[in-house]
Each structure stands twice: as structure tokens, then as C-alpha cells.
Amino acid sequence: MAFVKLLTFFFLQLILVVLALDLATAQGLKLGFYQKRCPSAETIVNQTTARFISRAPSLAAPLLRMHFHDCFVRGCDGSVLLNSTKNNQAEKDAIPNQSLRGFQVIDAAKSAVEAKCPGVVSCADILALVARDAVSVIKGPFWPVPTGRRDGRTSILSDALNNLPSPFSNITQLKASFRSKGLSVKDLVVLSGNLKFVCKVLSRGHTIGISHCTSFTNRLYNFTGKGDTDPTLDPNYIAQLKKKCKPGDATTFVEMDPGSSKIFDTDYYSLVGKRRGLFQSDSALLADSATKTYVQQQATPNGATFSTDFAASMVKMGQIGVLTGNSGEIRKRCAFIN
């Protein structure tokens, strides 16, 4: 039995590699892009990430979320890393991004790589690798990351507001948002379990995250403007949340997946199936037959296909709108254009 499981694991990993290669070729990326010019780049990034996450496992969720926020706005070009200037407000300062954490991990990895190979490895690639490695450190899925991305020179606050899905989105809005990025309905429900869709200062890294009360208190106290609660949310769960979050509470945090906020698991789907997902966008997954079916399948013990599905969706997401060839630049420092 152990041999069969091992063989299945390697077979699934082979499928992921083939998928990554097919997508990467189409986008101008490739596995091992830096093998000749900076062969130790990925090892340096991995070791730097592991050092941070081993001390602060809770950083894994924000780093995963940061990668998502980068890719959904202008593509995976590192634009979320840029600081605002006196003449421009950058994505980083948009309300959905004000709670992003882990920039120090990206900067440390970039500095370490620059010391070895100046001007070779992009910040966009470092972010993609750090997100993967952070999840891997906390025993989550591993996925191949084709590299060769270049860094964008533009970062605009309004782009983040207009492109990042909201936790208040219904299923139609969520499907449209993902479709516009070349992602499927399956990618939507797979990634919903672990990525961070942000509005205000919320984090939605569900199986490994926490959220401010402000992101869902409307469901507890004033769902339709009549002082009512959200009928799609379990009444017993509402009572529990009201003990932690009072009206107007903008400081208290609540675990999105109680007991699993620092680990990577499939409990998120069990909670959504029991009508205990914190956000409206969680409940929305039960309003569509395809997404509801997937939620129910993954709510079974150990979520039979989740890890492989998540890895495959991350490969796809990591190649949205990438800059390659002579487009963009290789930043010297991730927070500033050259």
C-alpha cells in the first residue's frame, strides 16, 4: 500500500511538471531558467524562506496571499512590491493590500540572491518561489515554479481596487473575476480554500489564515440593512462570532479555520459545507452546482485530490500576464524601479 501511494505521488508530480512545462513554454517561462546565470538562486530563496517561516509559520499565509495579489493585478510582475512615490500611489497602499505582510522575506531573499548574482533574478520570480516554498515549509503542497518573469515598472493603487476579488462577491462575480484571468471554475473553488481575497484589512488564506471582524460583521448584525443576520450562515456559528466581534470592532482577529490557522489542510471545505465559512464569498461556493460538488468532495477525510488540484491551480495562476524577454526590467531592489 505504501508503495502504491508513493508511486501515485510521483505520478501526480510528473503530471504537474508536464503542465508547468506546457504553460511555461506558452508564456516564455521555463523550469530552471536561472540554471546557467545563477544556478544557486532557487536554493538561496528556499533557504531564506525556510529561515523566516520556521520562526514565524503564520507568515506563510500572507506570502501566499501576496503572490495572488501580485498576479491578479497587472499579472505576476512584482508590481505589488513597489512603494508609492510622491507622484503615484502604488498597489501596496490600496485598502486590500494594507494588511499584506512578509515583505521582509522577499527583500531578504532578493538581497541574498543579488549578493551572489547581481541583476539576474527578478523580484516577480522571487515572490513566486517564496510563496511556494513558504507553503511547503508548513507541510502544504509543492508545485513546480517555471521562472523567467521580469519585473513591471508600473504599480497603480486603483488597479488593485478594480481587480482583486472581494469577500463580499457572489458566485457570478467570482466566476467572472477568475475567468478574466484565464482561470476555471475549478481553479476558483480550489484556490478559494487557501488564497486571500481582500477588502478592507481582511485576510482570506482560509486554511492558514485569520481575518479582522470588519470583514464579516455585516453578516452578524446588519446583513440587509434591517439589523438581521445572513441566513446562509449557521446560527450557532453566528452566536460564537458575536461573542468575539462586537459591532464596530475593527481590531479583533478571528481564525478563518479554527485550529488550522498555521497549517495547510482541507478543513476549510468542511466548514463551508457546514455553512461556517466566514465570508459571503465562502457561502457563494454553495450556490453553484460545480463549486458545491467540489466542496462536498474535499470535505471527506484528507480531501482526496485537494493537494494535487491546488498545486495545479497555483501553476496556472503563477503565469498570469507575465513579462518575459525584453519586457519590464530586473529590479535591483524590489520596492523601487531602477
Cα separation values, 202 from 84, 136, 205, 252, 287, Å = 21, 23, 10, 11, 23
Residue 79, annotated ligand binder? yes
Helices and strands counted in the chain (H then E): 14, 2
Length of the chain (residues): 338
Residue 266 near residue 163, CB atoms below 8 Å? no
Cα–Cα nearest to 266, from 112, 139, 148, 127? 139
Residue 172, annotated ligand binder? no
Residue 265, annotated ligand binder? yes
Residue 207, annotated ligand binder? yes
Cα–Cα nearest to 197, from 317, 68, 45, 48? 68
- CA distance linking residue 83 with residue 87, whole number of Å: 11
Q: Phi first, then psi: what are they for 323, rounded to 5°?
A: -100, 130
Name the active-site residue from 16, 41, 42, 69. 69
Question: What cell numbers appear for 13 in the block?
Answer: 508530480
Residue 77, annotated ligand binder? yes
User: Per-residue b/e over 17-48, b at no fewer than 16 CB within 10 Å?
Assistant: eebbbebbeebbbeeebbeeebeebbebbbeb
Residue 70, annotated ligand binder? yes
Catalytic residue check, 69: yes
Residue 206, annotated ligand binder? yes
- CA distance linking residue 285 with residue 237, whole number of Å: 18
Cβ count within 10 A of residue 316 = 20
- CA distance linking residue 214 with residue 198, whole number of Å: 11
Residues classed as catalytic: 69
Residue ranges for the known binding site are 70, 73, 75, 77, 79, 91, 165, 206-207, 257, 265
Residue ranges for the known binding site for Ca(2+) are 70, 73, 75, 77, 79, 91, 207, 257, 265
Residue ranges for the known binding site for heme b are 206
Residue ranges for the known binding site for substrate are 165
